[in-house]
């Protein structure tokens, strides 16, 4: 692999790892809303033309109201982003981030499909994640098919 390609993959790792660290930290910046606050916020969007916004509010608020999911997601983004940034653990970080980046992208596809910039950004992060995993396919491809003895 040529030097420019190696540099490109380092930059891609830094971008994805940095975005995951940022996203993970953001999950702990604001206090979790109470159920009453969620209902009050949701009631403001109870018209058919604001249904899309209501869906996003209810989805994210539901994740926060579980009492654990939002925090676990934040911890995973922080941990896997850090693993991705460290050269020796970057494959593990990229593999563990795949379902998270897929979920983020699908959230935007289904709940913010009119936000082209968000779709491009999250699709780009998912694509970067796929490329980082595929780059290391020689390290994991043997796990997909184990030859019988």
Rounded Cα distance between 148 and 36, Å, is: 58
Over residues 107-134, mean pLDDT: 95
75: nearest Cα among 29, 34, 15, 28? 28
Over residues 7-27, mean pLDDT: 96
Per-residue pLDDT for 17 more than 90? Answer: yes
Over residues 56-68, mean pLDDT: 92
HSE-up of residue 6 (Cα within 13 Å, Cβ side)? 4
* SS3 state of residue 149: coil
Phi, psi of 91 (to 5 degrees): -65, -45
**Average pLDDT score over the chain:** 93
- How many CB atoms within 10 Å of residue 133? 16
97: nearest Cα among 24, 28, 10, 30? 24
Rounded Cα distance between 13 and 9, Å, is: 6
**What global pTM score does this model have?**
0.88
**145: which DSSP letter?**
-
Query: What are the respective helix, strand and coil percentages of the chain, to the nearest 5?
Result: 80, 0, 20
Nearest 5°: CA angle at 120, between 91 and 16? 25
* The pLDDT value given to residue 109: 96
Which two structure tokens, joined as six digits, stand for 5?
């390609």
Report the percentage of the chain scoring pLDDT > 90.
Answer: 71
């Amino acid at each position: 692999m040529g030097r420019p390609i190696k540099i490109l993959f380092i930059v891609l790792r830094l971008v994805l790892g940095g975005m995951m660290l940022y996203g993970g930290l953001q999950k702990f910046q604001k206090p979790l809303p109470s159920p009453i606050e969620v209902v009050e916020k949701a009631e403001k969007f109870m018209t058919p033309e604001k249904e899309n916004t209501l869906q996003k509010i209810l989805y994210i608020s539901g994740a926060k109201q579980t009492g654990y999911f939002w925090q676990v997601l934040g911890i995973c983004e922080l941990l896997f982003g850090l693993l991705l940034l460290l050269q020796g653990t970057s494959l593990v970080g990229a593999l563990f981030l795949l379902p998270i980046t897929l979920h983020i992208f699908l959230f935007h596809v289904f709940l913010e499909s009119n936000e082209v910039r968000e779709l491009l950004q999250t699709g780009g992060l998912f694509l970067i994640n796929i490329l980082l995993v595929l780059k290391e396919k020689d390290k994991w491809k043997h796990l997909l098919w184990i030859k019988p003895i």
